[in-house]
Amino acid sequence: MQRKKSNNRNGRLANASEKKFHGWLKEQPCCWCGSEAGVIVDHAKGATFSHNKVHIGHRFCLCPCVECDTQKTIHGRRLGNESEKFAELDNQYRIAVGYSAGASSEEWWAIKEWGK
């Protein structure tokens, strides 16, 4: 059975594993400033992002607070290396949920190689 395509360009919908990761991110403090005021799920490069033909848009997500997201999105301020921050979050997720959860090795290498 083929996966449903989203209406957003040529992207696809998030799978169950990615949705579970997004839910976990929403329970975390801000990944940049540590604020507990509530975070959003930020698709670092957009939900349709691919690198080296590996779709990583729904996996390459961070959890900034609204203020940090505004600094990035509206003011264009770079808050740090998003690939490194994702690696930290993915490791925390694997510890919290189980080592079989988290990004696949293919997704990990695509994000690490992108490196910004």
48-106 residue pLDDT tens: 888 888 888 889 999 999 999 999 888 888 899 999 999 999 999 999 998 778 888 88
Cα 88 → chain centroid: 11
User: How far apart (Å, rounded) are the C-alpha atoms in residues 46 and 79?
Assistant: 17
Q: Is residue 4 part of a domain?
A: no
- Tell me the mean pLDDT in the region 12-16: 85
Q: Is residue 2 part of a domain?
A: no
Residue numbers of the domain that contains 71: 16-114
For 4, counting Cβ atoms within 10 Å of its Cβ (0-12 exposed, 13-18 middle, 19+ buried), the class is: exposed
Whether 2 shows a pLDDT value over 60: the answer reads no
Q: Is residue 9 part of a domain?
A: no
Q: Is residue 6 part of a domain?
A: no
pLDDT of residue 11: 63
Q: Is residue 10 part of a domain?
A: no
Q: Is residue 20 part of a domain?
A: yes
Q: Is residue 99 part of a domain?
A: yes
Cα 103 → chain centroid: 10
- Report how many domains make up the chain: 1
35-46 residue pLDDT tens: 998 899 999 888
